[in-house]
Amino acid sequence: MTDSRARGADDAIRGAASVSRRRFLAGAGLTVGVAALSSMSGAASAAPGRVAGGEGGRIPALVIGSGYGGAVAALRLTQAGIRTQIVEMGRRWDTPGPDGKIFCGMLQPDKRSMWLSDRTAQPVSNFMGFGIDKDIEKYTGVLDCERFSGISVYQGRGVGGGSLVNGGMAVTPKRAWFEEILPSVDANEMYGTYFPRANAALGVNTIDKDWFESTPWYQFTRTARKTAHRSGYTTEFVPNVYDFEYMEQEAAGAVTRSALDGEVIYGNNAGKKSLDKTYLAQAAATGLLTVTPLHRVAAVAPTAGGGYSVTMEQLDEQGGVVATTAVTADRVFFAAGSVGTSKLLVSMKGQGHLPNLSPQVGEGWGNNGNIMVGRANHMWDATGAKQATIPTMGIDNWDDPVAPVFAEIAPLPAGLETYVSLYLAITKNPERARFQFDPAAGKVDLTWSQSQNQTGIDMAKTLFDKINRKEGTIYRTDLFGVYKTWGDDFTYHPLGGALLDKATDNYGRLPEYPGLYVVDGALVPGNVGVNPFVTITALAERNMERIIATDIR
């Protein structure tokens, strides 16, 4: 593509572009970049064995990771007329397996379930004295359970990141808590502009209350609500990105079942508005986005001629590295998630590739206070053999000084009556950890120890002890091991590691390296008090608007 044709295509998409942005694109070596990119799109999609981009390709904007932060960055960059490449270590989830389905269900996990593991690692790992994990074939599956010495961190792998595997709970945090954890951010702007923008773009919707009250699929939630209310706790409905109209159709037998067929943590084959259907689809529609799946970014370093060299490893479907290549990008957006971004930054600093990064890089990581627990209800308080996999309600006790907890009423879709009320409690646990590079091992570890969760357990225990006392019920001790009450050794909600206004400036820029940005959950101080993706999305919207206006246009 010639320079003028490239500019013409850009102009057609963005309308009246500003002169200063054209100068940026010219300075960014757009001519070379566009030529390299057009061949790259073909290479990435048509011949996955080929090296993405080819050696020496130069691109204006490269985004590492395709979760919430990455999807927002990609959409807003491409809408501003900037050619953007996403590099994602997971695969594209768009091809059905032999069973005709893209994802496998929770009760019949196969190789598609887990990232490079020969056994499933389910959060609820046991039942009635038996382990329920299963052997599987090692494959680039959709859910990773990444183990550090003191905690396992669940993350989504694939184009769409965590949106492929999560429960879709779309919760805007309480304003007072948001102001406390992110005092440098204008809350009026967030609650007036960016939270509404994020919710709209994510396709957030709410369950019809009449249907909720009558359907057998939410008996488990109504039972947990009843017991919470009897102990004086308040509950609230929680919005979601799962399409509740679709779910009603599922219940009516009119469409293929997904949430009503045990699908969630290994992906939903229908119903859920994951990022590949929202932000990423919109970004692709600009014609300016290239997605390079099954490529893991291994290094980022400044180049002598300006910009950054990004080294990536191409993976086969068993996780083997089949090629290593490098491209040069004028701007690099770290969107590999709290863990992925922090690990990359800490190891780049430790290995001397980005030596001037702030000492704050790697600090401030938290597990969002996650604690899981199950209660055994009486037989007259059944939870139902039919359970939707999508949560719709939380017990809100966040403002209580002794037991500050927001507890998601979680499904346990076992296909039979279990009488279990399961909760994912987000406790106000103030404990934090840091990512550290170990030069001898050449690896990054997280300093979190399991005992740091004791504060969270104490908070959750205060709340659920009260319910158990009132109901005359007990905890289930068979869900997270043998005689183990608390699911305290894993998290769904990793946050922090490159905190906003600490490791970065107030908009996610890494100031020591102009052109490097953090846009994901690594920015968020370790506990946001609710399920985090709406906050991550809204913050990315805020930061990208500023970055595009001031650094790029």
| Of 241, 273, 529, 503, nearest in space to 408 by CA | 529
Applying CB under 6 A, does 169 fall inside the site for ligand FAE? yes
Applying CB under 6 A, does 297 fall inside the site for ligand FAE? yes
| Of 290, 291, 288, 289, nearest in space to 13 by CA | 288
How far apart are alpha carbons 551 and 83 in whole angstroms? 15
Annotated catalytic residue within 146, 263, 408, 545: 408
Strands (E), 288-347: 289-292, 295-302, 308-315, 321-334
In our burial notation (b when 16+ CB lie closer than 10 A, e otherwise), range 27-56 reads ebbbbebbbbbeebbebbeeebebbbbeee
Among 271, 293, 337, 515, binds ligand FAE (CB under 6 A): 337
Stretch that binds ligand FAE, among 5-13, 152-160, 354-362, 409-417 (CB under 6 A): 152-160
Annotated catalytic residue within 146, 250, 263, 493: 493
Applying CB under 6 A, does 202 fall inside the site for ligand FAE? no
The single-letter code of the amino acid at 161 is G
Q: Which is closer to ligand FAE, CB of 540 or CB of 552? A: 540
| Of 391, 389, 384, 388, nearest in space to 416 by CA | 384
Give the three-class secondary structure for 8.
helix
Applying CB under 6 A, does 166 fall inside the site for ligand FAE? yes
Residue 25 CB contacts under 8 Å (≥ 6 apart), including other chains:
7, 10, 60, 81, 82
Applying CB under 6 A, does 53 fall inside the site for ligand FAE? no
408 as an active site residue: the answer is yes
Applying CB under 6 A, does 220 fall inside the site for ligand FAE? no
Applying CB under 6 A, does 340 fall inside the site for ligand FAE? yes
Binding positions for ligand FAE, 350-369, rule CB under 6 A: none
Q: Residue 235: which H helix or E strand, with range?
A: strand 235-237
Residue with tokens 């059905």: 96
Q: Which residues pair with 518 in a beta bridge?
A: 334
Least Å distance, CB 351 to ligand FAE, is: 14
Among 532, 538, 539, 548, binds ligand FAE (CB under 6 A): 532
Stretch that binds ligand FAE, among 47-55, 223-231, 300-308, 526-534 (CB under 6 A): 526-534
Applying CB under 6 A, does 203 fall inside the site for ligand FAE? no
Least Å distance, CB 476 to ligand FAE, is: 20
417 as an active site residue: the answer is no
How far apart are alpha carbons 61 and 84 in whole angstroms? 5
Stretch that binds ligand FAE, among 1-9, 167-175, 189-197, 202-210 (CB under 6 A): 167-175
Q: Distance of alpha carbon 272 from its chain centroid, rounded?
A: 14
Applying CB under 6 A, does 87 fall inside the site for ligand FAE? yes
Among 117, 120, 235, 531, binds ligand FAE (CB under 6 A): 531
Residues within the interface to ligand FAE (CB under 6 A): 64-70, 87-90, 154-157, 161-162, 165-169, 265, 296-297, 335-338, 340, 344, 492-493, 520-521, 531-533, 536
Active site residues: 408, 493
